[in-house]
Structure 1
């Protein structure tokens, strides 16, 4: 015989309290006296009760869930951000619900609809480029929202990240200082990579440099994409002296293609990546790259949301620039 489902009323009876008290312990435990809270939590654990978190079920109508949307979890930098976010939110009593878009703007809007329909308490988005529908729905939802991995002057609510354009400019300045004059860019076909190219190209133009040879691959990109992309760049400009890759995965593929062709790095061709994966320092030669504190980014977003969700007094700033740095190694 199938066992009967444990109800909130069963927990209330076992703990010797009213049903509304159980609801309050589950939704806002700090509002209940410690002894009562302990009795309810013991009954929940003993009976194996799983609360129904649909909006309106609990006294506070809070789901204790934060929805987060990333382009992909196959890239370590997004996974690190989500790990940092999850740990901070978990310590604050919230669970993280993840969705991935595959770099598709319409898929992001459908995920936003799904999360808002399940009454999440807050949202985290990757990047600042969204459909008008996403912006409108989140602004109307009245819940905290954080955009990350980029910066903008007019976030939906809050933004935690860095300037992708400035990162591209910093890479160009470094390569120009190293005497490089023929430039390439190997990127993923997505908004943040295009901003890195924009900054890279602008800095080179200001210095009187020539046109940047570019190639883009559909994200999420792979090591094979990096190798194939460098081959295409060299087919257009065999005299390339420096290539900026929009992520370390592409840069590693480019490095392997250089080795296959017998092109010395950095003597013949300088290579720069982006994100500073652990393998960047371990490859031969070690890869110069843009270092992003991806885990710290997630932690910062989590702290901002926890503060807003706890309704602490005082205004929470909307724009948080965590910056970036160049990890200078032998490849450039």
Structure 2
């Protein structure tokens, strides 16, 4: 019968190492010098390994801290805004469908693709009047543009959405057509002092939009500024309204098939006249109207 080899315990190995270290203290230096020269043979290899490890750490740190280019960040921000806007628009459409409880055929007939089209346009210039917030577009009556049509941003290209309805729901409502010519149209922006329209306030939470059933009025204040005035202070005090909430147009505004995003609440301040009762809410889109170079005009008279 073969005998199994006897295993040395960890405690025994530790004791042997301690004993060897104790003995090494009393060994004369002339006996250990050959060992020192032998260890020097491994120094170059150790230096190579140390250099390689340091280079790898530097490369990893450089990759982890790689800055995102400004243009790439702007594109990602545009995509995120578009997806968020689209989710809000779809939430509103679902709510409308549930409340109305239409038949399948009626639902199909109410889709944007069968009720209208988007007319792409370029911004020619800002409104010449300094006291107004407006744009002049290079599309007019010959392209089907008419007074009262809604105008939305054109931050996405048509190829970046499934259809016209998805594209419309991904953009921001910026104004309405107030004057047309054969080849141009004048747009009054929502920030114009003459602009005043009903809006709702929504919030994205737990993957879905919640839109307030109460309506408020958004007023333009020129130079790209928009405010919701005379809001009872209890809304902000109870955090029913807070900075970061979305502001959307109410259902049916400009005849639109769904609510569209206008901007977000960036500040809530007490009203100057009644600071303990009312608030003044500032709303701003994620872009400046002066930076817009394109827009879509919503034509709901065009049937497919």
TM-score, normalised by the number of residues in structure 2: 0.26
Which structure dedicates a bigger proportion of its chain to helix? 1
Which structure dedicates a bigger proportion of its chain to strand? 2
Relative contact order: is structure 1 or structure 2 higher (C-alpha 8 Å, sep ≥ 6)? 2
Rg comparison, structure with higher value: 2
